């Protein structure tokens, strides 16, 4: 059975994923481009927030994007069509039982998915099976332990911790960014290079204040309010104070920092 997905599939979360992708396009995608004719699997494409960028940046590559959620696939298809891209085929599939032949992809791309899985190494091993020898896998994950900000706030840190704990209880790991190299290694990939991608936000970068601090990170924490209170991890008042303090970091004298981790590995050994 698929792992429960802590953020849920509602419209506000879909918007948040697109805000996140929009704010981070250059930071995360600047060094990703696939050659003409390459066949690329995007695993866990969600509502297509990364898919549109991938398809735009590698217009002559052919993408196959899969997600376990039919609703998300439908939304992703619409977004890719609206962006005028015709180089993506969508399939509803669980990445643990992919409907593809072994070694049938030149490259694999997976972003913000492993953090939700109880068996991320097994997921990478499964993805490795459909990758041809010599092909690459790109893994992008965040790490909520990397969030720090000014003004600092114990209440904000406690609200973030609620999200980390909820994700842990759902079988995932919101601190997985720091494990990208170890899990790719354990899954058997070679020539792994992980690069930290730091988001630094102050009021001189208004597009990130809005697109990242408010609409990506703080919106994500706000999104678990009911679950955190229901689980007894916080009371409503304390949680709301934490969210208020996160919004406070988006004011004129505020600063917000966060780090994503992007790993690229190759498949050489047949054991992957």
Ligand X SMILES: C[S@@+](CC[C@H](N)C(=O)[O-])C[C@H]1O[C@@H](n2cnc3c(N)ncnc32)[C@H](O)[C@@H]1O
Instruction: Figure out which of the listed residues 29, 41, 44, 156 binds ligand X, where binding follows CB under 6 A.
Output: 44
Pick the closer one to ligand X by CB: 2 or 231.
Answer: 2
Helix or strand holding residue 51 (H, E) = helix 51-57
17 in contact with ligand X (CB under 6 A):
yes
14's CB contacts (< 8 A; 6+ apart) are 47, 72, 75
- Residue pair 135/105 in contact by the 8 Å Cβ criterion: yes
Of the candidates 115, 124, 127, 120, the residue with the CA atom closest to the CA atom of residue 40: 127
CA 258 – CA 49 distance, rounded (Å): 19
Give 178's DSSP letter: G
194 in contact with ligand X (CB under 6 A):
no
Q: How far is the CB of 237 from ligand X (least distance, A)?
A: 29
Of the candidates 95, 110, 182, the residue with the CA atom closest to the CA atom of residue 140: 110
Q: How far is the CB of 50 from ligand X (least distance, A)?
A: 4
User: What is the contact mask toward ligand X in residues 90 to 119, using x (rule: CB under 6 A)?
Assistant: ----xxx--------------xxx--x---
Q: Which residue is nearest to ligand X (CB)?
A: 46
CA 194 – CA 247 distance, rounded (Å): 31
Q: How far is the CB of 262 from ligand X (least distance, A)?
A: 12
Q: How far is the CB of 25 from ligand X (least distance, A)?
A: 11
- Residue pair 135/106 in contact by the 8 Å Cβ criterion: yes
49 in contact with ligand X (CB under 6 A):
yes
By rule CB under 6 A, what count of residues binds ligand X?
22
Instruction: Figure out which of the listed residues 16, 19, 34, 46 binds ligand X, where binding follows CB under 6 A.
Output: 46
Q: Which residues bind ligand X (CB under 6 A)?
A: 2-3, 5, 7, 17, 21, 44-46, 49-50, 67-69, 72, 94-96, 111-113, 116
């Amino acid at each position: 059975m698929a792992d429960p997905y802590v953020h849920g599939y509602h419209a506000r979360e879909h918007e948040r994923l697109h805000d996140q992708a929009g704010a981070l396009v250059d930071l995360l995608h600047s060094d990703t481009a696939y050659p003409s004719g390459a066949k690329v699997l995007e695993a866990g494409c969600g509502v297509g927030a990364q898919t549109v960028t991938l398809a735009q940046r590698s217009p002559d590559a052919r993408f196959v994007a899969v997600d376990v959620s039919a609703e998300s696939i439908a939304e992703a298809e619409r977004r890719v069509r609206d962006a005028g891209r015709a180089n993506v085929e969508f399939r509803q599939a669980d990445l643990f039982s992919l409907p593809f032949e072994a070694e049938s992809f030149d490259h694999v791309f997976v972003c913000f998915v492993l953090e939700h899985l109880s068996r991320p190494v097994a997921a990478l091993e499964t993805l490795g099976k459909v990758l041809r020898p010599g092909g690459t896998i790109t893994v992008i994950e965040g790490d909520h332990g990397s969030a720090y900000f000014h003004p600092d706030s114990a209440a904000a840190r406690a609200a973030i911790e609620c999200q980390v704990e909820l994700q842990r209880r759902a079988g995932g790991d919101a601190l997985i960014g720091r494990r990208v190299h170890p899990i790719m290694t354990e899954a058997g990939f070679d020539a792994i290079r992980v690069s930290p991608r730091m988001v630094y936000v102050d009021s001189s970068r208004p597009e990130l204040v809005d697109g990242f601090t408010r609409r990506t990170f703080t919106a994500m924490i706000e999104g678990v309010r009911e679950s955190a209170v229901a689980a007894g991890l916080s009371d409503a008042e304390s949680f709301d104070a934490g969210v208020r303090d996160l919004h406070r970091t988006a004011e004129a004298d505020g600063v917000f920092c966060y780090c994503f981790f992007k790993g690229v590995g190759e498949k050489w050994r047949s054991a992957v």
